[in-house]
Amino acid sequence: MKNDQSIGRLNDFKDGRRSYDLEEDQESSEVPTGPSALRRMKQEELAERLQSRLLPADCQRELKSNLKKKFQCVFEGITKAGKTTLLNEIYTELYITEGGTAQVNEEHEVRQIETASRRPARPETTIRLEDLLKASAGGEEPIRTVMTKGVAGIGKTLLTQKFTLDWAEDKYHQDIQFTFPFTFRELNVLREKKFSLVGLFHHFFSETRAAGICRFEEFQVMIIFDGLDECRLPLDFHNNEDLTDVTESSSVDVLLTNLIRGKLLPSARLWITTRPAAANQIPPECVGMVTEVRGFTDPQKEEYFRKRFRDEEQASRIISHIKTSRSLHIMCHIPVFCWITAGVLEEMKTREGGELPKTLTEMYIHFLVVQSKVKKVKYDGGAETDPHWSPESRKMIESLGKLAFDQLQKGNLIFYESDLTECGIDIRAASVYSGVFTQIFREERGLYQDKVFCFVHLSVQEFLAALHVHLTFFNSGVHLLSGEQTTSRRSKRFKVNLEPMRLYQSAVDKALQSPNGHLDLFLRFLLGLSLETNQTLLRGLLTQAGSRSQTNQETVQYIKEKISKKVSPKKSINLFHCLNELNDGSLVEEIQRSLSSGHLSTDELSPAQWSALVFILLSSQEDLEVFDLKKYSASEEALLRLLPVVKASNKALLSDCNLSERSCEALSSVLSSQSSSLRELDLSNNDLQDSGLKLLCAGLESPHCDLEILRLSGCLITEEGCSSLASALSSNPSHLRELDLSYNHPGDSGVKLLSAGLEDPQWRLETLRVEPDGVRWLTPGLRKYSCELTIDTNTVNKQLKLSDNNRKVTSVKEDQSHTVIIQTDLTSVISCCVELV
């Protein structure tokens, strides 16, 4: 009998491939192998050793197969009624950045100690999905816990599904032996139950139970927790007992806190996704790296729609349609908004002259209207011109709205059949007859094969909850947020004007009091529904007149008062979103006032919050023709964060803002962008120097640069910089018509090079300013303005005596008893004969 060396060479399991290879010799091929054969040969110990290697490999293959089946398709609508699409076919890469460990704190209300120090913004590090778990820059060990933040609908869940699918298809992360994806929605259902960590794995992933695997510390395990903002477990990190034994039973809450703290299964790697407002639920010391999903860049938006619509002509029409609205185009950086937009525009058939939705609320109303029309035409045989709010569809929307609000109040995001029945929803009738139901709702197989239900996206639940509160108030007079009911004794005027104001004020207050921001989107939708234009779209659902413009103005004023009280940055930003939904004409001015006054400190804003401000500014309906950095914050950090707003503006006023080479490099990318609107740029009185101008010239020479006016007065530029500028303008001569280089030192050669452009017919340059000039203007700061002063002797008072080459003056005063002589430096005497420029 051969020894165990000749039976087989057992490989490490870490690569996920076959767990053993037989020796390549003729004898071994004749030896019966496998655990059962070894046991028949009374080689029990060897059989057990081989079995212990085979089971994990078989288990991994089975797990990968099942996860592949689960995630290879995505559904639109519910699983039964929706259209299936291969994830790999429609997946569009997302823009992900590294946010640094400190960003967890900054997302909450903790102010940083160094707010007084003006730290320059760090260059953002972009991360590819396949590199997510690798060591951060400068680190050697892989990161144990990664937190990924992103606003609602930005693509966090799809990101986790793509990661899992890539692993299951052996594409990436093959050093991981087991990947266990959880959602907090699933875990919420178990809050009253007890499990050991091993039991929890066995419960959700039956392959591990069948293989009898319990010692997970022997393997490289990846655990994904998707949707921390949807967590309804206490996650009490301070008071939960310590737990280190993976076989000891406890509540799911205790399991999670110990797993995240590294007490349980410290060798495991964790990935947690969340909306920003809920990130503070995890102690910052438990998070190794924070990343942020920024959504789609402009090219990625186009890629999404071209994958969504295989017909190239249709895709091009829809992309063109979206680009006609700045607010709609910027909102499409959110993937779920792209999905809803695609559905709405597909049904509208991108017909010309139709008014495009401009706000979040408008788009969700259109989504609801479109789904109701689809149901009417496709299922009921109606015409497109028929009223879309039939009694049946109205009842269904009211029932879904009640379910959405009741469950949002309870913190539930997954519902049972009994929950639906309580709200008057007949599941069978709804799924057969109502297109609204099948598009908005999703049915899943939950634990123990129970049927559980959830809305297709949390934002849809939040919208319908807000719609329910709105309809209930105006149709029934019931204030659901306070439990009050309007009475018949109150006058109609009081009911219409005062009561809506109370509704909106209480909604604002409740959202501000929420510790995890779970009412933020609900509030935006509720306020958006107060606009008459949106209520017109809902005609047929509303039986009573809604709020009036006076109420909206009072609500706007109430929100501005809250902003002025210096609430946390994340709360301020959501209130700005609310002003946007209310179409407030002073939104941009309000943001400028908050930043310039310090109510919203630039030192406290995280990268995610800067992104939110940019989103609000760009999606507002206000004119952004002139961008004046001083109205926000006269700093380089503010400019770098607000670059997308600069790009959308016609004129950028950046003089006297302490800008450096970094700003020039960033502005160069704006100038060379095909979608840039910038035509006038004022960079005067910033110490840019020749090195900064050279970086700027990379943008000026781009064929996409249409800049017409450039002001560089007092920027410490010499003939070297002028040479670079002349070269750039020679490459792209047909746009710039005015150039200001006064208070620099261009030298004779620099002036000659640029003056030649005035004579060149290919150049459009009409105005060139180079005076005053000279080497004195290369001195940084205010010292450049100093000069030798000479006193004008004709203005000297007769009681003043000059000496020391007219550099000193003596004041002589005579009286009856004695003479008083006072000496002083001439520098304190103001009268002089030198012209000051």
3-class DSSP string for 678-734? CCEEECCCCCCHHHHHHHHHHHHCCCCCCCCEEECCCCCCEHHHHHHHHHHHHHCCC
Q: Are 327 and 359 in contact (CB under 8 A)?
A: yes
Nearest Cα neighbor of 526 from 493, 495, 559, 572 is: 559
pLDDT, tens only, 129-182: 888 777 555 556 778 999 999 888 888 999 999 999 999 999 988 899 999 999
pLDDT over 80 at 252, yes or no: yes
The lowest-confidence range among 346-350, 526-530, 708-712 is 346-350
Query: Coil, helix or strand for 204?
Result: helix
Q: Are 657 and 629 in contact (CB under 8 A)?
A: yes
Taking residues 89-115, what's their average pLDDT? Answer: 51
- Using a 10 angstrom Cβ sphere, with 0-12 exposed, 13-18 middle and 19 or more buried, the burial of residue 366 is buried
Number of H helices, E strands in the chain: 33, 27
Residue 458, C-beta contacts closer than 8 angstroms, at least 6 positions apart: 152, 230, 413
State the pLDDT at residue 689. Answer: 93
Q: Are 216 and 178 in contact (CB under 8 A)?
A: yes
Q: What is the DSSP string of 564-616?
A: HT---HHHHHHHHHHHHHTT-TTHHHHHHHHHHHTSS-TTT--HHHHHHHHHH
Taking residues 289-293, what's their average pLDDT? Answer: 90
Residue 494, C-beta contacts closer than 8 angstroms, at least 6 positions apart: none
Distances (CA, A) of 660 to 346, 352, 428, 647, 749: 47, 46, 65, 19, 25
Cα separation, 341 vs 350, in Å, equals 11
Which DSSP helix (H) or strand (E) runs through 120?
A: none
pLDDT, tens only, 628-683: 999 898 999 999 999 999 999 999 999 999 999 999 999 999 999 888 889 999 99
pLDDT, tens only, 207-218: 999 888 999 999
Residue 126, C-beta contacts closer than 8 angstroms, at least 6 positions apart: 95, 96, 97, 98
Torsion of CA 787, 792, 798, 801, to 10 degrees: 50
| Alpha helical stretches, state H, 99-147 | 103-107
- Using a 10 angstrom Cβ sphere, with 0-12 exposed, 13-18 middle and 19 or more buried, the burial of residue 540 is middle
Measure CA 256 to chain center. 26
Nearest Cα neighbor of 408 from 349, 480, 342 is: 480
Q: How confident is the model at residue 443 (pLDDT cuts 50, 70, 90)?
A: low
What percent of the chain clears pLDDT 90, i.e. is strictly above it? 36
State the pLDDT at residue 719. Answer: 93
Q: Are 826 and 808 in contact (CB under 8 A)?
A: yes
DSSP secondary structure letter of residue 376: I
Helix axes 312-323, 335-348, angle to 10 degrees: 110
Distances (CA, A) of 122 to 418, 569, 695: 52, 20, 19
Taking residues 233-261, what's their average pLDDT? Answer: 95
Cis peptide upstream of residue 32 (ω within 30 degrees of 0)? no
Tokens (6 digits) for 818: 């004695």
Strand partners, 86: 73
Helix axes 156-168, 44-71, angle to 10 degrees: 140
Taking residues 435-457, what's their average pLDDT? Answer: 60
- Using a 10 angstrom Cβ sphere, with 0-12 exposed, 13-18 middle and 19 or more buried, the burial of residue 520 is buried
pLDDT over 90 at 263, yes or no: yes
State the pLDDT at residue 431. Answer: 60
Cα separation, 100 vs 124, in Å, equals 10
Cα separation, 673 vs 420, in Å, equals 51
State the pLDDT at residue 445. Answer: 54
What value, to the nearest 5°, has the Cα angle with vertex 655 and ends 651 and 661?
Answer: 100
**What is the rounded radius of gyration, in angstroms, for the C-alpha atoms of the chain?**
34
Cα separation, 782 vs 760, in Å, equals 37
Nearest Cα neighbor of 708 from 735, 732, 729, 682 is: 735
Q: How confident is the model at residue 379 (pLDDT cuts 50, 70, 90)?
A: low
Q: Are 624 and 588 in contact (CB under 8 A)?
A: yes
Tokens (6 digits) for 752: 């000659």
DSSP secondary structure letter of residue 18: -
Cα separation, 107 vs 123, in Å, equals 19
Q: How confident is the model at residue 52 (pLDDT cuts 50, 70, 90)?
A: low
Which DSSP helix (H) or strand (E) runs through 5?
A: helix 4-7
Which DSSP helix (H) or strand (E) runs through 128?
A: none
Tokens (6 digits) for 50: 């081989």
Distances (CA, A) of 807 to 472, 788, 791, 813, 835: 86, 11, 8, 20, 18
DSSP secondary structure letter of residue 761: T
User: Contacts by 420-426 with C-beta closer than 8 Å and gap 24+?
Assistant: 420/453, 423/399, 424/395, 424/399, 425/396, 425/399, 425/400
State the pLDDT at residue 718. Answer: 93
Taking residues 731-750, what's their average pLDDT? Answer: 92
| Residue of 610 and 621 predicted with greater confidence | 610
Exposure class string for 57-69: b at 16+ Cβ within 10 A, else e: bebbebbbeebee
Q: Are 98 and 290 in contact (CB under 8 A)?
A: yes
Nearest Cα neighbor of 99 from 136, 130, 124 is: 124
Half-sphere exposure of 613 toward its Cβ, with a 13 Å CA cutoff? 28
Measure CA 481 to chain center. 29
Q: How confident is the model at residue 773 (pLDDT cuts 50, 70, 90)?
A: confident
Cα separation, 176 vs 824, in Å, equals 82
Tokens (6 digits) for 386: 């028929």
Q: How confident is the model at residue 711 (pLDDT cuts 50, 70, 90)?
A: very high
Identify the top-confidence range among 11-15, 236-240, 384-388, 674-678: 236-240
Taking residues 713-720, what's their average pLDDT? Answer: 92
Cα separation, 711 vs 587, in Å, equals 29
Residue 501, C-beta contacts closer than 8 angstroms, at least 6 positions apart: 551, 554, 555, 558
Nearest Cα neighbor of 770 from 793, 748, 795 is: 748
Q: How confident is the model at residue 607 (pLDDT cuts 50, 70, 90)?
A: confident
Torsion of CA 316, 322, 323, 324, to 10 degrees: 110
DSSP secondary structure letter of residue 378: I
Strand partners, 745: 718
